[in-house]
A = this chain, B = another copy of it.
């Protein structure tokens, strides 16, 4: 899969793999963000987590994980780092001590309101297609996750 149906069977070229297009586009986004995020001392994943946290206060790790498609094994170290940087607060929910509640600090909110990636819209070169591509790729993701979850 991840290759065009049209070329199935032969021409097993990387350029025909959708999975590789996504994989390499993800690397490209990481590199495009790097110089912008370096200025504020954030990594790409930390930045994405921070954006998700700006959605709503007092989210649990699980709830954040559902938004990001990640679990506590990945998130816990990142969240501890963000807390250590003074950008978020973590505390056990008194009503259920198993859960950890997450909230941005004022510093974290200020940082995220800077619209750090704004200058990259033009760099995508997508123009008016931007929202279409965004929706198509999101749909692709949801389809893949549904199919993966279906047969496991």
Contact = CB atoms under 8 A, between A and B. Distances in A.
Interface stretch (A84-92, A94-102, A118-126): A118-126
Contacts of A118: 1, 3, 8
A21 B54 contact: no
Contacts of A54: 12
A8 B120 CA distance: 12
B12 A134 contact: no
Interface string A42-70: 00000010011011000000000001111
A32 B67 contact: no
A80 to B, nearest CB: 21
A15 to B, nearest CB: 7
B29 A134 contact: no
A35 interface: yes
A43 B133 CA distance: 28
A72 interface: no
B123 A143 contact: yes
A116 to B, nearest CB: 8
A1 B119 contact: yes
Task: List 3 tightest A-B contacts by C-beta distance, closest first.
Answer: A1-B120, A125-B143, A123-B147
